Amino acid sequence: MAELTEKIKSLKKEKKAVILAHCYQNAEIDEVADFVGDSLYLSQMAAKTDADIIIFAGVYFMAQTAKILSPDKKVLLPRMEAGCAMADMINLAQLREFKAKHPDIPAVCYINSTAEVKSECDICCTSSNALKIVESLGAEKVLFLPDKYLGKWVESKLSGVEVITYDGCCPVHHRIVAEDILHIKKLYPEAKVLTHPECRREVTELSDYVGSTTGIMKFAKENSARQFVIATEKGVIDRLRRDCPDKTFIPVKENLVCESMKCTTLEDIYKALVEEKYEINVDRALSEKALLCIDRMLEVSK
């Protein structure tokens, strides 16, 4: 493993490549990653980098977003099967149907969506800036897709905005139900419950903090509590246990794993660097349209 890590590091230098890794990735990836974080942070880094090659240790929509933000760079996704089940829940035809049902209402799309979907939405958001983005529109009604739970959580936090949601969700976070929280709270009454907003509303309502993956980690590191129940993908717990060995992190339930996020290995990253694959390309006209939606988000998030 150490040998492979060194090989990747020197190849990275030679090829002027940068590795962006989402916080759900396997721990070994951190050793070679230049930037590790949530979707917003990684898209900001993808827009800024002056590297020739971007390797995305994450899922397809993240690499596609990086390509849209840096169209002249080579963007590689080490495993093509690393998709996002939520992003796949809405295609362009379904978006058009949803918009036609609710005409003249601005559409906000979660970054977990395809370039086609982004190209016909007004603005994009991530889990860390969704509140700010919806608020920035100053509208009484907003369409939100594909994640119904994130949309309804945003609505609960803003007064005077009706958020009309598309019927999509993340299958990993959807597995967490209210009973899981109630059960774990009985076992660990002192623990703070930290939850990703992709969870069901009944789950976010029972939580002490709701935020993105990096939001959850920041809260756990800065808060004086000693025990935390973590309601998101396992990668966040593994990371917190490594970073804060003096605190206790309890998974809300076992096996909360996003297989797509976990399929990328160090070997895959090495192969991606050597063979320069799998290259992500986006049609220029489509990319330019989708970029408007992403750029508006980055502008509001500054």
Positions touching ligand SF4 (CB under 6 A) are: 59, 84-86, 112, 170, 172, 198, 233, 258, 260-261
CB of 39 to ligand 13P, least distance (A): 4
Amino acid at residue number 203: V
Nearer to ligand SF4 by Cβ, of 33 and 89: the residue is: 89
Return the one option of ligand SF4, ligand 13P, none that residue 85 interacts with (CB less than 5 to 8 A, by type). Answer: ligand SF4
Q: Which of 17, 170, 229, 297 touches ligand 13P by CB under 6 A?
A: 170
Q: Is residue 213 at the binding interface for ligand 13P, with CB under 6 A as the rule?
A: yes
Q: Is residue 147 at the binding interface for ligand 13P, with CB under 6 A as the rule?
A: no
Q: Is residue 38 at the binding interface for ligand 13P, with CB under 6 A as the rule?
A: yes
Return the one option of ligand 13P, ligand SF4, none that residue 212 interacts with (CB less than 5 to 8 A, by type). Answer: ligand 13P
CB of 98 to ligand SF4, least distance (A): 19
Q: Is residue 198 at the binding interface for ligand 13P, with CB under 6 A as the rule?
A: yes
Are 19 and 33 in contact by the 8 Å Cβ rule? The answer is yes
Return the one option of ligand SF4, ligand 13P, none that residue 126 interacts with (CB less than 5 to 8 A, by type). Answer: ligand 13P
Name the β-bridge partners of 207. Answer: none
CB of 226 to ligand SF4, least distance (A): 27
- Residues in contact with ligand 13P by CB under 6 A are 38-39, 112, 126-128, 170, 198, 212-213
